[in-house]
Amino acid sequence: MNTMNRRVAITGIGVRAPGGGSTKEFWELISSGATATRTISLFDPTGFRSQIAGECDFDPVAEGFSQQEIRRMDRVAQLAVAATREAVADAGLEVGEIDPHRTGVSVGSAIGSTMSLEEEYQVLSNGGSKWLVDHEYAVPHLFSYMVPTSISGEVAWVVGAEGPVALVSTGCTSGIESVSHAAQLIREGSADVMLTGGSDASISPICVACFDAIKATTPRNDDPATASRPFDRTRNGFVLAEGCAMLVLEEFGHAVRRGAHIYAEIGGWGVRANAYHMTGLRPQGHEMAQAIDVALRMSGRAPEQVDYVNAHGSGTKQNDKHETDAFKRSLGDHAYRTPVSSIKSMIGHSLGAIGSIEIAACALAIESALIPPTANLHEPDPELDLDYVPLEARPADLRTVLTVGSGFGGFQSAMVLTKGDPDDHDARRA
């Protein structure tokens, strides 16, 4: 480990999200304000409290996976590998020009291969009837399903990465924390190129039951397309989703030297534990504000320079108030002048993936000079008094963008993306 302060560029993006089977489709959806939440089709949700999800129309065969790969990889890994392939192609990285020893992987996932674990559990336990589950029926890849580094390993194999490979799992902030980890490794000199992002395949009975049990997800089953309502007075819980975004990060000079397109720069990041509650949020958003402060300081940006905030915006009563308070605490009066939006209104909350999907959205927003809106925001909540960019995307020159997340386990994360000018003298000022 050394103490270098190298800059980090985003040069490739791959997305598999509800309503978007590619980065392009994803951006078209969220910049149009359309929603992709629907009644669960991946299993029969009858009897569950919340029966809505953001599902990916993901076909592993059409994505080019072999039958052997489909058996080996849980859907969470398939999503990650497909998104990685897109990101690597988008970055224009040829496998032959990558130095394997200087290339690493950091993937975030909150719940790993839960989908396969649950399916196999049903078989091994004969539908939940045996405590002493039957090993004779176990499939050979069960162990890879339990230990989630198998997902980052699959990603490493896409390009033959032999540098540091990690799977970061901090609940619903995993998608920010994994990218922060990757950026840290480039910053300190442990790698030059990182494949990083987040993936979760959460639409399974046990996962839906988990959130049912704590009434965190919305029961608005009669209106799935408008069920995710961040910052709206009528919001009543989040919409569970699945998805993945993978990014190619490069040391800035590495990207410049090979003439890569730079979407944005990762300017800074911060994380705080709230030490309060495994699922609850402390009032006033103190820890999230601290995470934001740390991220801004690292990026060499003042609060007044923030042009857009991509909110966690899950659509629970508690969260949306919590982070509105946090934005005011860290940005001061500037919070009232800063557009804030939640793309979870359109694609739901994909746990450990969404942080990375939102980082991708921020990079694309900078690139397109367009702020994606908060869909379904028809009735403002009088308690929430910031500019939440309702319903329609808004053109804006974006030079500094903030994205945040909160997760079970009491994690609050923030990341600052900047435009990525080669002669940015504020970058790495901290």
Partner 1 sequence: MTTTLAERDAGTRPEAGRAVITGIGVIAPNGFTTDEYWDAVLHGRSGLGRVTRFDPAQYPVKLAGEVADYDVHAYVPGRLVPQTDQTTRLALIAMDAAVGDAGLDLAAMPSDQIGIVTGNSVGGLEYSQRELEKLWSAGSNHVSAYLSFAWFYAVNTGQLSIRHGLHGPGGVLTGHTGGLDSVAHARRYVADGLPVAVSGAIDSSLCPLGWVIELTTGRMSTVTDPARAYLPFDHAASGYLSGEGGAILITEDAGHARRRGARPYGEIAGYGATFDPRPGSDREPGLRRAIELALWDAGVPPAEVDVVFADAAGVADLDRAEAAAITAVFGPRAVPVTAPKTTTGRLHSGGPALDAATALLSMRHGVIPPMINVTDPVASDRLDLVLAGPRETRVGAALVLARGDGLNSAMVLTAP
Return the number of the residue (1 or 397) whose C-beta is nearest partner 1.
1
Could you give the string, one character per residue 153-172, with x where binding to partner 1 holds by CB under 8 A and - elsewhere? x--xx--xxxxxxxxxxxx-
Contact between 12 and partner 1 per CB under 8 A: no
Based on the residue annotation, tell me whether 349 is a catalytic residue of this protein.
Answer: yes
Stretch 77-136 residues interacting with partner 1 (CB under 8 A):
100-101, 104-105, 110-112, 117-118, 121-122, 124-125, 127-129, 131-135
Cα R_g (the chain), whole angstroms:
20
The window from 31-39, 62-70, 265-273, 307-315 that contacts partner 1 (CB under 8 A) reads 265-273
**Of 231 and 269, which has the nearer Cβ to partner 1?**
269
Q: Select the residue interacting with partner 1 from 34, 62, 89, 214 (CB under 8 A).
A: 214
Q: How far is the CB of 419 from partner 1 (least distance, A)?
A: 25
Task: Indicate whether 273 belongs to the interface with partner 1 (CB under 8 A).
Answer: yes
Of 181, 254, 286, 312, the catalytic one is 312
- Residues with Cβ within 8 Å of residue 21, at least 6 apart in sequence: 56, 57, 58
279 binds partner 1 (CB under 8 A): yes
Q: Which of 37, 78, 144, 345: binder of partner 1 (CB under 8 A)?
A: 144
Q: Which of 413, 402, 175, 430 is nearest to 291 (CA)?
A: 413
Is the CA virtual torsion 147, 150, 151, 156 positive or negative?
positive
Residues of span 355-414 touching partner 1 by CB under 8 A = 407-411
Helices (H), 141-272: 142-146, 149-159, 174-188, 205-213, 252-257
Q: Which of 244, 322, 349, 362 is catalytic?
A: 349
The structure tokens listed for 323 are 């982070």
Residue 92 or 153 having the CB closest to partner 1: 153
* Least distance from partner 1 to the Cβ atom of residue 15, Å: 23
Alpha-carbon dihedral angle through residues 131, 135, 137, 139, given to the nearest 10 degrees: 120
52-54 vs 37-39, strand pairing mode: antiparallel
CB nearer to partner 1: give 192 or 307.
192
Out of 172, 207, 244, 362, the active site residue is: 172
Nearer to partner 1, 210 or 396 (CB): 210
Q: For residue 289, how many other CB atoms are within 10 A of its CB?
A: 22
Active site residue 56: no
**Least distance to partner 1, CB of residue 295, Å:** 11
CB closer to partner 1 out of 15 and 156: 156
In the complex, least distance from residue 30 CB atom to partner 1, rounded to whole angstroms: 27
Residue 426: Cβ within 10 Å count: 15
Tell me the DSSP string of 75-138: HHHHHHHHHHHHHHHHHT--GGGS-GGGEEEEEE-SSTTHHHHHHHHHHHTTTTT-SS--GGG-
44 binds partner 1 (CB under 8 A): no
Number of residues that bind partner 1 (CB under 8 A): 89
Give, as one character, the DSSP assignment of residue 239.
P
Closest CA to 250 of 264, 236, 269, 232: 264
| Angle CA 261–417–284, to nearest 5 | 165
State the residue for tokens 């939102």.
358
3-state secondary structure (DSSP) of residue 249: strand
Task: Say whether residue 219 binds partner 1 (CB under 8 A).
Answer: no
Residue 61 interacting with partner 1 (CB under 8 A): no
State in angstroms the smallest separation of the CB of 280 from partner 1: 10
Nearer to partner 1, 121 or 368 (CB): 121
**Contacting residue, 211, 238, 252, 308, with partner 1 by CB under 8 A:** 211
Q: 406 phi and psi, to 5 degrees?
A: -130, 145
Residue list 287-316, contact with partner 1 (CB under 8 A): 287, 290
DSSP H helical ranges for 221-333: 252-257, 286-299, 317-331
The catalytic site residues sit at 172, 312, 349
